[in-house]
Structure formats: C-alpha cells, structure tokens
Amino acid sequence: MINQILNEFNNKNLAILGFGMEGLATYHFIRKYSNMPLTIIDQKNPLDKYPKLKEDDKVKIVYGENYLDNLEQYDLVVKSPGVITKDIDVKNIHFTSQLELLLTYDRNNVIGITATKGKSTTSTLLYEAIKACHKDVVLLGNVGKAIFDSIEKIKEDTIVVVEMSALQLEFVDVSPHIAGIINLYEDHLDHAGTVKHYHENKLNIFKFQTKDDFMVYSADIKPLCNYIDERYQAKKYGVQFAYSLNNNVISLKNNKIYLNNKLMYDTNEKRYLRGEHNIRNIMFVLVICHLLQLDMDIVRKTINHFKGLEHRLEYAGTYNGIIYYNDAIATIPKATINAIETLNKVDTLIFGGMDRGIDYHDLVDYLNSGVVRNLICMPTTGYKIGDLITNPKVNVYRLETLKEATLKAKQITLKGSICLLSPAASSYEYFKNFEEKGRAFKKLIKED
C-alpha cells in the first residue's frame, strides 16, 4: 500500500493543505520515502512552529490570509480535515486525504465508524474487543492518531478501525467495507454551513459501498432512516431499541440485546459504560463483532471491563462531598441531556461555549423543567440559554471563566450530589479544544 500511495504522489505538482497533526504526518511520510518537491499550505506560517523546514530545499511554503487561493494549480492537494473550504469553489481542485488513500488501497480491511456523538467511544471499544480476540488490529483517524503515522503497521490481514469525522469524509469517493453511523444530530454548522451538508458528508461513509459491503445504522432515529433508502447497495444492519424480529436488526427487549432472535448481551451485567447512548454504542460493537465472526464471550467481557474515554462522562473525583463529572466532549445539546439523564443526581450544571448556530430549544425546555437546580452559564451560548430559563426554582448564574464557574459550583452544590461540566457547545472560544477544557476543570476541582 505504501508504494501505491507514493505512486499517487510521484511526478505531480503536490501540495499539503493544513499543517497540523495530520499535515505534519503527511510530510513525514513523504520525506521518509521520497525527496520529491512539494508545497505546504497553511493559514499560519509553518516555519514558526517547525523551523527545520528551512533545511528542506524541496519545500515551498504558502501561508497567510489568502492561503486557499489558487489551489486549482496543483495536480493533487492532500487536505487535512481541519481546513474549512465552504467559502471557496472546490470544483476544479483535486483533493485527496490520508483517509481516502487508505480506503483506495485497503478498503476491504477497514471498519469506519462515524456519528455526531459516540464515535470515539464506539471505535475504541470495538478496537479493544477485536484486540482481545487476538486479531491484528489498529485504531486510527479522528480518535487522535493520524493514519500515516501508523501505516507501516498495516499488513495484508490487519483490521483497521477508523473513527471518521464529517470533515474527513467530505471529499472521499470510496467507502469502507464495514461502516456504521451511530447517530446524526445538528452540529459543525460553522464548518459545513448547513445541517444538510453536514449530514451528506457523514453519509459518504455509505455512499460508495457495494453489495458485498455492510452498513450498520440506528434504525429508530428517524432523520437518519430518511437517508437510508434503496440507493445504498450494502447489506443493512439496523440498530434499534424497540424489539424486532426482523432479520439483521439488533434490538433491545427486557434489558437484553438480541440479533436475529439470538441473545447477544444482557445489559443488567455490571459494566462501566453508563446511559442509554452507551447501550446503543455497545449494540453497534456487537453487530460488527458478529460480522467479523469473533468470539462473543470475549467481546462481552471486553465490554464489561471497558472504562470509557477521558472527557466522556468521566468521573473526575469527589471533593468536599461533591461528586464531579467531566463531560467536556458534550458539544451539542443532546449530549448534555444524555449526560444529565444518565447521572440522575446532577445538582449543578456548568455549560456554555462557542455559538455555532445550533438550535438550543430542546435544551432550554429540558432545563426549564427544573431537572437541574443550579445552572452555571458561561459565554457565549450559556448566557443566551440562561436568559431563557423562566422556572423560579432554577438558580441561574452567569460567570465569565471556568475558574469562576468551578469556584461557584463548590459554593452552591449540595453535598452528596453531582456537579457536571457538560458544555453543550464547542470550547474553541476560550480553549484550544474540549480536551484542554476538561483537563482544566479536573485541575480546578482539586484546588482549595
């Protein structure tokens, strides 16, 4: 596969667009095998962070406010997913990406997982289950590992689990052999422009599958089902909570999960993953492990021992009688609602972040019901939502910084109950990403 990818690059006017984690991995991959000329394009000057690039006399650097101009002059542009192109004409630009190149040359070994929420947990749990069954497997993609950083580990029979974001899927024209969409909600409108475009990007994970492939999707989420029609050729496996005797549907009955009327998993078993949303994630893993013909006893044990990922309904500790949970990954209203319903004893919610044009009416209605006593609202969306809370039994506080919010939470949260950080919005206004915000919160709760 490595030689095939390099052949794609040879004798082309080649550009790397975006020089973050993935762009840097593309550069290192190319330089490991070739000294071919190439151009690095980024909004910021890559030399500021990587001055050693000056020593590479085969590299041209383009940066600045107009860095997206003239992309059509390149034979091939290896695009990083973080580069937003919604404001430029892309018709005459030949994009490719690490994901597309992987799928082009190894799609039959690739399992792709996408969703608005839950894709990291599901991808990681699936990877752990496959590994526990002593299969050669790697976990790549949006979960934080650039594909080209691990490409040398991929052998002929390696199973490649890839968490795929909408931005990674936007320009692909090939789909994985096994693909799953866990859910589709409103998100990333600052990148995609419209909900329709965002959802269409996600659906590229199914779009180019053949009749020999497999698609797994939530059959009881109506907006997603509206997209799943006869144009998709792959064998369909539905995931739904309402019990069904239909073939190729995994469903829930009396807290037990069945596939084709066969018991797959008892949700009453002791496990670390909590909440209805994680039951759905588990169902996806069970279906795919069934398709891979894995030892399901080992799969079930792996599910029960899996402790989840950082910043995803993460128990952060109990200090001075207050129980703290870090759910910084919750960047949409539905995720925050799920977190509150899962934990059940939330007395204080810290929320709010960057306004990306998402509809917050459902969250406003939910919080107005009084399900949480204390709402600590942070800019920008938290302030807007706080203005709409009319229930006199709900205490609304508007604070500017996470430090101020955490201090207030320590003062007002009842002992023995939960303080939850679950922003229902992106963290980009004040933090680099949700990981930075979550770690800051975990540090602040420990301070006296």
Query: What's the pLDDT tens digit per position in 384-415?
Result: 999 999 999 999 999 999 999 999 999 999 99
Provide the pLDDT confidence category of residue 427 given band limits of 50, 70 and 90. confident
| Predicted pLDDT at 188 | 47
| Predicted pLDDT at 37 | 97
Q: Answer whether residue 7 shows pLDDT above 50.
A: yes
d(CA 223, CA 389): 28
How many C-beta neighbours within 10 Å does residue 47 have? 14
Domain ranges of the chain: 2-96, 101-305, 314-444
pLDDT tens digits for range 284-316: 999 999 999 999 999 999 999 999 999 999 999
d(CA 418, CA 250): 34
d(CA 104, CA 173): 9
Range 21-36 average pLDDT = 96
pTM for this entry: 0.88
pLDDT tens digits for range 125-174: 999 999 999 999 999 987 778 999 999 999 999 999 999 999 999 999 99
Burial of 189 per CB tally in 10 Å (0-12, 13-18, 19+): middle
* Most confident by average pLDDT, 113-122, 191-200, 369-378: 369-378
Secondary structure (DSSP) of 155-179: -TT-EEEEE--HHHHTT-----SEE
Kindly give, in sequence order, each residue whose CB lies less than 8 Å from that of residue 357, ignoring residues fewer than 6 positions away.
Answer: 189, 190
- 2-96 and 101-305 share one CATH topology? no
CATH fold of the domain at 314-444? Protein-Tyrosine Phosphatase; Chain A (3.90.190)
Joined together, the tokens standing for residue 232 give 């998709």
Give 101-305's CATH code, choosing from 2.102.10.10, 2.160.10.10, 3.40.1190.10, 3.30.450.20.
Answer: 3.40.1190.10
| Predicted pLDDT at 191 | 54
Range 96-104 average pLDDT = 97
Helix, strand, or coil here: 322?
A: strand
| Predicted pLDDT at 58 | 97
The larger pLDDT score, comparing residue 228 to residue 103, is at: 103
- The CATH H-level (homologous superfamily) assignment of domain 2-96 is NAD(P)-binding Rossmann-like Domain (3.40.50.720)
What secondary structure letter does DSSP report for 429? T
Under 8 Å between Cβ of 347 and 374 = yes
Joined together, the tokens standing for residue 322 give 């207050």
Angle at 237 between CA 231 and CA 243, to 5 degrees: 125
pLDDT tens digits for range 190-226: 554 577 878 888 999 999 999 999 999 999 887 778 7
Range 58-76 average pLDDT = 97
Q: What spatial distance separates the first Cα and last Cα of the chain, rounded to whole Å?
A: 54
Average per-residue pLDDT for the chain: 94
| Predicted pLDDT at 17 | 98
Residue whose token pair is 């009881």: 220
